[in-house]
Amino acid sequence: MKKKAMASFLIGYTLLFTGSVYWHGQQFSQPIASDAGQLLPTAVKSIEQAEGEKQLQEMVRRANRTGDKLSIAGMQHSQGGHTYYPGGTIIDMKKYNKILQFDPKRQTITVQAGATWDDIQRRINPYGLSVKVMQSQNIFTIGGALSVNVHGRDIHYGSLIDTVESFRLLTAAGEIINVSREENKELFPLVIGGYGLFGIILDVTFSLAKDELYETHTRVIDYSQYSSYFQNAVNSSQVKMHLARISVAPDTFLREMYVTDWTNAKDEHKLTAYNQLKEDRIIAAPKLLLGLSRYSDWGKDKFWELQRTYMKKGNGKLETRNNVMRSETAFMEYESSSRTEVLQEYFVPVSEFADYIDDLRNVLENEKDFNLLNITVRYVGKDEQAVLSYAKVDMFALVLLINQGRSSKDMKQTEEVIRKMIDITLQHNGSYYLPYYSYPTKDQFDTAYPHSKEFFRMKRKYDPDERFMNFFYREYGQ
């Protein structure tokens, strides 16, 4: 590793990644807002904390009088300016986080939009219950999770929309309405996966699942075997959760994979012996090698070896459903003054996987400056409930972690590669996820989301003054 690169690594290694960020730049007269991607620092009018239902309602009504634009923010891990807008007001929902009602017998819970998955898990875990669908981290707010319609590791549920019974929405007119599959049902598939463009989600009622004890099974396979392995060994067995990673290390680039399946444990009665919720830890070796992989091919090879070895050592490990969902991510914390880490996520039909990977490899092997750190693979069953649905058929979801610079030149270089990858994804009848930076073209967006025109038409129907605004809407909807 070159001295300058090593010095940059050591500086970055000593700083903790702060995640979602608001700050006030002293050289500006207005607050400057950014998100986890840190690529769109933007001057906004104000940042308002959500305190109560009446206060939020008055905030919307006041904006209607003054003409202010409103954006809604949680943890701000959507990375394309989805939670703020130039000159607008950010409504920070994180303190609006009460658990309003929990019914263990009916297996339902109602929470305010600022509550996190961690809040929910801590409440329901003592009752032997679990959430059905959530991100692979538990730090996110429920309102944010609904707004991007997340998916998770459980292969038997589709997207988050499957688990939502109802929610209350504060509309652009300042009215509070109930929304479900029966009541104001037109809004149900628009608000879920609607990126905060239809109003403020106040609270949500979810259905829950029973917590279970799982046994872990990990194996290494060739990428060409993955589709058949999944269809034969996973989709038709007692596998409850599934996760895979494909190598980005030069020695095995986009060829070797490890797959992890969680099956029901034989000793299910031992659930209570394992159901203490695990806490996130910073694990020194993975954190160090991930750091090295940011700066060298050698680091990428060593980090892949560590991942593969570490996961295989977990074979036979017993873990509850709630804890499988609480993946350890502290080792991924990262901060740099000149670089950032962004996500992309591509969905490709199960039957297309091997051919898709071949085409993806052909592109990326020629992009020597494109710093790809990780690809995680999950399964998402066909789910077209949301208007902006990303799973038109049964899909594999590939989550890409990319290290890139923040300069205009760096962003342009990343944009060019990402557009090539999206073209390949679309050629294989796939789609891509919308919570990330707006590198895709408008034509790519329209192809991946054929109902987008209907979505934006309904946005203007329910919010004719475009009171709720963000960069995503400005880029693709106006």
SS3 at position 43? strand
pLDDT of the residue at 332: 64
- For residue 330, name the pLDDT band (cuts at 50, 70, 90): low
Per 3-state DSSP, what percentage of the chain is helix, strand, and coil (rounded to 5)? 35, 25, 40
- For residue 331, name the pLDDT band (cuts at 50, 70, 90): low
CB 170 within 8 A of CB 210: no
SS3 at position 409? helix
Checking if the pLDDT of 13 tops 80, the result is no
Checking if the pLDDT of 103 tops 90, the result is yes
Residue 359: both structure tokens together: 């085409």
Residues in the chain: 478
Sequence letter at residue 406: R
Q: Which of 189, 95, 108 is nearest to 149 (CA)?
A: 189
pLDDT of the residue at 329: 65
Residue 357: both structure tokens together: 């990977």
pLDDT of the residue at 16: 29
> Side-chain half-sphere of 185: how many Cα atoms within 13 Å?
4
Q: Where are the alpha helices (DSSP H) in 326-430?
A: 353-364, 408-427
pLDDT of the residue at 129: 98
Q: In this structure, are strands 89-92 and 46-49 parallel, antiparallel, or unpaired?
A: parallel
Checking if the pLDDT of 19 tops 90, the result is no
**Could you tell me if residue 103 is left (phi over 0), alpha (psi between -120 and 50 degrees) or otherwise beta?**
beta
pLDDT of the residue at 9: 37
pLDDT averaged over every residue in the chain:
91
pLDDT of the residue at 3: 41
Kindly report, residue by residue over 137-170, the tens digit of the pLDDT.
888 999 999 999 999 999 998 899 999 999 999 9
Residue 136: both structure tokens together: 């692979």
Checking if the pLDDT of 289 tops 90, the result is no
- Beta bridge partners, 239, equal 263
Among the residue ranges 166-170, 271-275, 462-466, the one predicted with the least confidence is: 271-275
CB 212 within 8 A of CB 264: yes
Checking if the pLDDT of 295 tops 50, the result is yes
Checking if the pLDDT of 219 tops 60, the result is yes
Checking if the pLDDT of 354 tops 50, the result is yes
pLDDT of the residue at 171: 98
- For residue 17, name the pLDDT band (cuts at 50, 70, 90): very low
- For residue 333, name the pLDDT band (cuts at 50, 70, 90): confident
Among the residue ranges 5-9, 10-14, 388-392, 420-424, the one predicted with the least confidence is: 10-14
Residue 445: both structure tokens together: 């967006």
pLDDT of the residue at 437: 94
The whole-model pTM stands at: 0.91
Q: Which domains does the chain have, with CATH numbers?
A: 99-210 (3.30.465.10), 213-443 (3.30.70.2520)
Checking if the pLDDT of 28 tops 60, the result is no
Give the mean model confidence (pLDDT) for residues 397-409.
96
Kindly report, residue by residue over 46-92, the tens digit of the pLDDT.
999 999 999 999 999 999 999 999 999 999 989 999 999 999 999 99
Task: State how far Cα 329 lies from the chain centre.
Answer: 13
Q: How many CB atoms lie within 10 A of CB 90?
A: 24
CB 161 within 8 A of CB 383: yes
- For residue 134, name the pLDDT band (cuts at 50, 70, 90): very high
pLDDT of the residue at 281: 65
pLDDT of the residue at 235: 76
pLDDT of the residue at 238: 87
CB 468 within 8 A of CB 70: yes
Residue 115: both structure tokens together: 């509550």
CB 196 within 8 A of CB 208: no
pLDDT of the residue at 5: 43
The percent of residues above 70 in pLDDT, for the chain, comes to 92
Among the residue ranges 23-27, 171-175, 418-422, the one predicted with the least confidence is: 23-27
Give the mean model confidence (pLDDT) for residues 434-461.
97
The percent of residues above 90 in pLDDT, for the chain, comes to 80
Checking if the pLDDT of 328 tops 70, the result is no
